[in-house]
Structure 1
Amino acid sequence: MSQPSSAVDRLLVDESGRRPRADARRNLERLVEAARIAVAEVGVGVSAHAIADRAGVGVGTFYRRIPSLQVLLETVLDEILDEIANVADRALEDPDPWHGLCVFAAAYVRLRAESCGVSEALGGACGDALAQRLTELRGRIRRLVERAQAAGAMRTDIIWQDVPFLLAAAATGEHTLGMQASDKQWERNLHIILDGLRPTPPSTLPGAAPA
């Protein structure tokens, strides 16, 4: 039997096979959405109380709807990683291997830059819980890189294992050395990195330089 596609559906799986009440599903939907936002803003260390408050429900409702905080966080992160895997799969179908790699890289770095929790999860903060997801994502990145190299669109002296570190480096913080990043800083960083991977002249950088 296939796994339910959304975090809400996964959390609603009931061994009895009974359909949940409408109000139970609504509460669960609010908790999942609140968890996604909290994970992005706070990270994987967010508390059940903080998620419940953001969802507008009591912590008692939280534990009636959710087996545990850990299960909720892992399910939400699994859903997000499934979304980025789908981006990679579409990129692998792009007839232009370099364009496919760039589209994936932009989505991946944006996600790391905008979600503290996803960045932590990709760094291994969730231990073995998401290990299979990370293994699958590594495989997709490897295929994207090797496909671009085979097409002559990417330097071949760089191994695919370099690329995840380079993409992680593009998602920087807002401040460094007393300087303020521009609102497109991660995009500028990514363009510089992608230009460094190309065997061709560099492209025009987006956005303004850091202040």
Structure 2
Amino acid sequence: MSQSRSTVDRLMADASGRRPRADARRNVERLVEAARIAVAEVGVGVSAHEIARRAGVGVGTFYRRIPSLDALLELVLVEILDEIGELADRAAQDRDPWHGFCAFAASYVRLRAESCGISEALGGACATGLAERLERLREHFRCLVERAQAAGAMRTDLAWQDVPFLLAAAATGGSTVGLRAGDQQWERNLRVILDGLRHAPSGQLPGAAPA
């Protein structure tokens, strides 16, 4: 996929300008793909040994081909956040602001529900290296929410800053109070939240908007 190739190219960059060997590139491609899957399943606490094992290479190969574990994880998270940004750009171009917002919300919550790592990153893990992307994502949220509100499609008594918290709440864990989530639980949660975003307020919201 193009996003993975972009990450591979950045990892394979050689100041000498020499073309990397084919086997070296294959190993980096396998490590990047393994890192994406491991970040989704395990989270940002995944180890270099685990990524190497999933890629089918030795940990020595990992450290010969990858500058550091932190560098690899940051690049993987950056490309995923860039993908979210592209989804937001497409949503902002939808002629129907509410339809565009809902499409983005569904993709965003699905990603949070399916990837431990991106959920952790959006919650503040690796924040230093991802600060620029998170700032862009906040701007995307502001744009999409204010666009839907201006069209009369979303209640106006909430701030755009409320919406990321509401969508994060839709990406629930697998169990609570001894109950197991259904296989479409996040979609059910999101439907209720979207209905709440559209409906007229029943009273003033308590407290201040998130900062």
TM-score normalised over the length of structure 1:
0.91
- TM-superposition CA deviations, 1:11-33 (whole Å, max 9, x none): 12222222211111110010000
CA distance in 1, matches of 2:186, 2:6: 29
Aligned to 2:93: 93
* Equivalent residue pairs, number: 197
CA distance in 1, matches of 2:131, 2:187: 28
Aligned to 1:16: 16
Shift of 1:127: 2.6
Is it true that 1:136 corresponds to 2:152 in the alignment?
Answer: no
CA distance in 2, matches of 1:49, 1:71: 15
Contact 1:39 1:115 in 2 (8 A): yes
CA distance in 2, matches of 1:108, 1:19: 37
Contact 2:5 2:29 in 1 (8 A): no
- TM-superposition CA deviations, 1:111-146 (whole Å, max 9, x none): 000000100000111031100000000001100000
Q: Relative to structure 1, is the Cα distance of residues 145 and 5 closer, same or farther in structure 2, using a 3 angstrom cutoff?
A: farther
- TM-superposition CA deviations, 1:140-160 (whole Å, max 9, x none): 110000000000000010110
Aligned to 2:175: 175
Secondary structure at the aligned position of 1:6 is classed as helix
- Percent identity, please: 77
Aligned to 1:123: 123
Amino acid at match of 1:196: G
Aligned to 2:186: 186
Contact 1:167 1:190 in 2 (8 A): yes
TM-score normalised over the length of structure 2:
0.91
Aligned to 1:102: 102
Amino acid at match of 2:102: C
Shift of 1:168: 0.5
Aligned to 1:68: 68
Aligned to 1:40: 40
Shift of 1:5: 7.1
CA distance in 2, matches of 1:138, 1:144: 10
Amino acid at match of 1:182: G
Amino acid at match of 1:128: T
Amino acid at match of 1:121: A
- Structure 2: segments with no counterpart, 5+ residues: 201-211
CA distance in 1, matches of 2:14, 2:147: 42
Aligned to 1:111: 111
Shift of 1:63: 0.6
Amino acid at match of 1:67: P
CA distance in 2, matches of 1:51, 1:154: 43
Shift of 1:68: 0.3
RMSD over equivalenced CA pairs, Å: 1.2
- TM-superposition CA deviations, 1:161-196 (whole Å, max 9, x none): 000000100000111001111100000000100100
- Structure 1: segments with no counterpart, 5+ residues: 201-211
CA distance in 2, matches of 1:5, 1:63: 19
Aligned to 2:207: none
Is it true that 1:59 corresponds to 2:59 in the alignment?
Answer: yes
Shift of 1:8: 1.2
CA distance in 1, matches of 2:183, 2:151: 33
Amino acid at match of 1:193: I
